[in-house]
Amino acid sequence: MKRTDYLLYSLVIFGWSTSWLPVKGQVGPVDPELSILWRFLIATSLCFIISKFQKLSLIFPLKIHLKMALMGFFMFSTNFTLFYYASENIASGLLAVIWSMTSIINIFMVAIITQSRPNYSQLLASAIGFFGITLIFIPELRISKLALQSLILCIIGTISFCSGNLVSRSLQNQSIPVMSANSWGMLYGCLILVVYALVLKHPFKISF
C-alpha cells in the first residue's frame, strides 16, 4: 500500500466513526425516517453535483436503475431508519459496535451466495468479534427492558446494510461508478423514506 492509501483509509475510519455522534442529536421531535430524509436530500444533491463535476455517467438502463433502487432500499433507507429508531433507547456508541458486525455478516452472506466455505481464520475472527460484542451489550440488556428490542432492530438494520453492500458490489462489477450509483441509490432511498413517512402518517416537519 502507498502512503496515500493509508491516509485515505484513516479518513474513512475517522468519517465512519464520528458519523455516529450526530445520530443522538437528530433523534427528537422529528420522526427518524424524516430526519434521515432531510439528511439524505442534502447528501444526494452533493453526490449528483460531484458526479457532474467528475463527468461521470448518470444515464443507465432500467435494469441498472432497479439495482440502484434495491441498494437505496437496503442501504440508504431501511438500514438507517432501523438504527435511528434503535437509538431512542440505547447509546449511539453501542449502535456503532453492533454495526461493526457488518464484517461478520458479510463473510457469511458471501459464503451463502457463492456457495463457498469461509476459511477457518475468518470463522475464528468472527466468533471472537461476536463474543466481544455480546459482552459489551450484556450490561445494557440488564439495565433497559427496551435494549433487546433495539438490539433486534440494529441486527436487522445491519443485515439490510450488508444486503445493500452486495448490490453495490454487483454494480461495481458492472463498471458503474461508485459516485453515480450512490447518487441514484440515495435518491431512491429518499423516495422510500417518503413512503415510510406516509404509511406511518408522520408529519413532514423540520426542527431547528
- Output the pLDDT for position 176: 94
How far is Cα 35 from Cα 204, in angstroms, rounded to an integer?
10
- Output the pLDDT for position 187: 97
- Output the pLDDT for position 207: 72
Q: Provide the 8-state DSSP code for 117.
A: P
Spans of the chain below 50 pLDDT = none
What type of residue sits at position 17?
S
Residue 173 in domain: yes
How far is Cα 187 from Cα 45, in angstroms, rounded to an integer?
9
Question: Which of 152, 20, 158 minimizes the C-alpha distance to 91?
Answer: 20
Question: Which of 164, 150, 155 minimizes the C-alpha distance to 100?
Answer: 155
Per the structure, the complete domain to which residue 167 belongs is given by: 62-203
How far is Cα 47 from Cα 43, in angstroms, rounded to an integer?
6
- Output the pLDDT for position 174: 92
Residue 55 in domain: no
Q: % helix / strand / coil in the chain, to the nearest 5?
A: 80, 0, 20
CA angle in degrees (0–180, nearest 5) for 5-184-50: 50
Work out whether the CA dihedral 102, 63, 59, 43 comes out positive or negative: negative
- Output the pLDDT for position 60: 95
CA 165, distance to chain mean position in Å, is 9
Residue 110 in domain: yes
pLDDT tens, 86-143?
887 776 667 777 777 777 777 777 777 767 777 777 677 777 777 777 777 777 667 7
Radius of gyration of the chain (CA): 18
Residue 29 in domain: no
Work out whether the CA dihedral 174, 53, 68, 186 comes out positive or negative: positive
Residue 113 in domain: yes
Any alpha helices (H) in 145-202, and if so which ranges? 147-173, 178-200
Residue 176 in domain: yes
Residue 18 in domain: no
- Output the pLDDT for position 93: 67
Count: domains in the chain? 1
pTM comes to 0.83
